Chain A
Amino acid sequence: MEIYQLKDVVFTFPEQDTATLDHIHLTIRRGEFITICGKSGCGKSTLLRQLKLILTPHGKRTGEITYCNQPLHDMDPRTQAAEIGFVLQNPDNQIVTDKVWHELAFGLESLGYDNQTIRLRVAEMASFFGIQTWFHKSVTELSGGQKQLLNLASIMAMHPSVLILDEPTSQLDPIAAADFLETVAKINRELGTTIIMTEHRLEEVLPISDRLIVMDHGAIIADDSPAKVGETLYRMNHPMFRSMPSPMQIHAGVENDLPCPVTVREGRQWLDAFLQDKLIAATEVTSPVELRKTPAVIQFKDVWFKYEKNGPDIIKDLSFEVNEGQFYCIVGGNGTGKTSTLSLLSGLLQPYRGKVQIGGKNPAKVNAAELFTHYLGVLPQNPQSLFVKKTVELDLYEMLSFTKLTKEEKTAKVESIVQFAELEHLLHMHPYDLSGGEQQRAALAKVLLLEPRILLLDEPTKGLDGFFKEKLAAFLKRLNADGVTIVMVSHDIEFCAKYGEVCAMFFDGSIITSNETKKFFAGNSFYTTAANRMVRHRWSEAVTIEDVIRLCQATATH
């Protein structure tokens, strides 16, 4: 039975000529798990918002949307509020009350249920989601992952029959994201709730989805089972293909007639079947990269740090060095002290034991103006915290307002940086109106105006889609080639594996191991890329998708 039916839906925002949604035809059956993907700005969110009237943006819409064979705008608001659950992107923004139990009850209060019913439903949901242990807590004490679970639970308490999620995991770390998606799958499996969601993390979400829909420029370009969509995208040579899970990309890159794998497990089986009766190519694909012998610019020596006098140690006995011109990646779980390390580096925090030195000086003691102009640039985790003006252009000029440059010099500087970061068409927009990737680039441009020699990045790929990640990587590579030292903290293993020079694993307040990227990931068996996990029983040295494809091709030609 159909739950949603969209017939020829066209949607145009006010005062715009091109339609954001272009003749959408879509049928969604009860109990399906549907994932929608596409580049930022392709109209995914706009499409989702058409499915619940109260969230539909202003604009002109033609075509017909029915919910359970009944036009959507004939449905009364109360039924819509209860039946159609909607989870948004940012976990923090969606929570409106101060206690977990109150947040769980919020929707039910709005629907006007009595105390007894609310008590029962809240109890049910808290048990289903495993919230009992933090039921009485303040919402400020929760982690990002817990907050998003709470949002989901507070909507599920209203017993919706369809759940719409708009990039729910983009602000979460990989472990929390996997937990969250697992819960969504459980809801679909055990309660039969229809799931419609947009998502960047295809690696985790495709194995649990029934259907994958790909959008581009407001139109649906593919709508089928994940494996089939992968093949279609490959045939179309579409940029979205590079966001597909590694096993699918490897499968498409190698000539074979075997069925397309989606998960790492299926990938392993596929590889074994593919390699049968073939002479396996030698693993020597990685030409060992010579680590540059440059002087160290960042030195940590036996550093200890804690936030409170009687609090736990956040950084324990941390020692490492970053050489000039390196691209140094720090990976590791949440709450292990990675961000604190960056704060120690920029002098925002000070160790209570040990030494931190940048270029031979203690960052906390150096004059801020001296440190942050022409030397150390810091790109914060949330680029929004850098924007201060009404337009991107004004924002860039603001960076130079305290310098003694002439007007011409300033203009020249801003123009060159605009060109570098490809911001030409965004100059007159408000920074908050840019998409995540564009904001990241604008913030980077701001920091680069101070001409740093060392760049610190905190989770620069958070919330970016594959397309913007590649763009960001290209910028970083170019900066690195100019001799800028880059230190990056990230959860994004695939990104680090592809672009990093040296990787270090952070655990329990200290760096456990660090090595040249290829060797680093080849040495790990769990904390490594999907491609490596898929083929490590044959080629433990192959880390990236390209490595594996090259090896497979080498094998095929033998």
Chain B
Amino acid sequence: MRDSFSTYHPIVNFVYFVMILVFGMVFMHPVFQGIALTSAVIYSVMLNGARAVKFNVVYMIPLLLFMAVMNPLFNHAGVTILFYLKNGNPITLESILYGAAAACMFVTVIVWFSCYNAVMTSDKFIYIFGKVIPALSLIFSMVLRFVPRYKAQIKVISNAQKCVGRDVSQGNILRRARSGITILSMMTTWALENAIESADSMKSRGYGLPKRTSFSIYRFDHRDRVVSIVMAGLILIVLTGAVLGENTIRFFPSIQLIGITPQSAVIYIAYFTLCMLPVIINLVEAVQWKSINSKM
């Protein structure tokens, strides 16, 4: 399915992910964690489909269990002692719960990053950095151009050398090492030689003239503004919750957290909406599309 959140302005995407990652790491309250993990998993499945399901089941669930089990084995703080290990160390309820919470937080952040990777493509990243430091954005773009190019050329050289019996896969260790170094040295010569023409091409197109601008294909339009305002509102409510101490939990020495009140319910809903924002946008657009399509 096509992700419509990705089509928003890069700044909207970027701010969203920065906030959601920070919140995911800081807010350890079980309700918050539950919300974050669920939304991250839903969005990742929406973005990457079957691959995300596989990733979440095959890697994330074992990782979650492993971390939850490992913590109480090494961390013995907490007042509620459940039982003692053979070596005399206590296993406490707090350390078990803390392990589970930390594992959950860790997995949530990883899943959010998988979404980030799918949404923030290299162009968007370059654009964001271009806003901050214009020269850097060109360098990023050039690196992304030249790395694959050099990789391809190493392959070409290595194949050519293979055909005269001089590749890293041929001969004894010493000969292989020598061939490897030769290939690297050829690569350097080739890169320097060809860079001259690249430099000529840049100069001939006026690179180096003062007052260079930075072009982008993105435009901050009305819907970007609407989503930004909604996001800002939600973030504000969540932050208020943080100030009031609604979003955190104390694990040691004993567990302490604020219970559910009407006030906290508002904050939970705000956080849930924020985390599900991309999913909501996708669903709304899908419904709109359906209704338009049925009328045509």
- A residues sitting closer than 8 Å to B (CB atoms) are 52, 54-55, 77-78, 81-82, 85-86, 88-90, 92-99, 101-102, 105-115, 118-119, 122, 139-140, 151, 154-155, 158, 343, 346, 348, 368-369, 372-373, 376-378, 380, 382, 384-388, 399, 402, 432, 446-447, 450
Contacts and interface: CB of A to CB of B under 8 A. Distances in A.
Contacts of A447: 164
**Nearest 5 interchain pairs by C-beta:** A81-B206, A110-B206, A378-B163, A107-B205, A93-B197
B162 A348 contact: yes
Size category of the binding interface on chain B: 35 or more
A336 B69 CA distance: 57
Contact of B160 (A81, A369, A385, A432): A385
Contacts of B157: 385
Given A97-B145, A139-B145, A380 B159 contact: yes
Contact of A111 (B141, B186, B203, B209): B209
A381 to B, nearest CB: 8
A55 B156 contact: no
A372 B164 CA distance: 6
A82 B207 CA distance: 11
Given A96-B202, A102-B141, A118-B213, 6 more contacts: A86-B200, A96-B142, A98-B141, A101-B217, A372-B164, A378-B164
Given A86-B204, A368-B170, A380-B159, A95 B164 contact: no
Contacts of A98: 122, 141-142, 144-145
Interface in B195-226: 195, 197-198, 200-217
Contacts of B182: 388
A151 B185 contact: no
27 contacts: A55-B203, A81-B205, A86-B204, A88-B197, A90-B197, A94-B198, A99-B141, A102-B141, A109-B215, A110-B206, A110-B212, A111-B206, A115-B216, A343-B159, A348-B159, A369-B171, A372-B164, A377-B163, A378-B163, A380-B156, A380-B160, A384-B190, A385-B160, A387-B189, A388-B186, A432-B189, A450-B164
Nearest to A102: B141
A439 B275 CA distance: 61
B213 A114 contact: yes
Given A86-B204, A155-B205, A368-B170, A105 B198 contact: no
A110 B204 contact: no
A417 B200 CA distance: 37
B165 interface: yes
A96 B215 contact: no
A81 B153 CA distance: 31
Contacts of B123: 99, 102
Contacts of B122: 98
Contacts of A92: 149, 194
Contact of B186 (A112, A119, A387): A387
B175 interface: yes
Interface of B: 122-123, 138, 141-142, 144-145, 148-149, 152-153, 156-157, 159-165, 167, 169-171, 175, 182, 185-186, 189-190, 193-195, 197-198, 200-217
Contacts of A373: 165
Contact of B170 (A343, A369, A450): A369
Contact of A399 (B141, B164, B195): B164
Nearest to A433: B193
B160 to A, nearest CB: 4
B193 to A, nearest CB: 5
A340 to B, nearest CB: 12
A55 B209 contact: no
B154 to A, nearest CB: 10
Nearest to B170: A368
A251 B101 CA distance: 88
B164 A96 contact: no
Greatest chain A CB density within 10 A among B145, B167, B189 is at B145
A151 to B, nearest CB: 7
A140 B206 contact: no
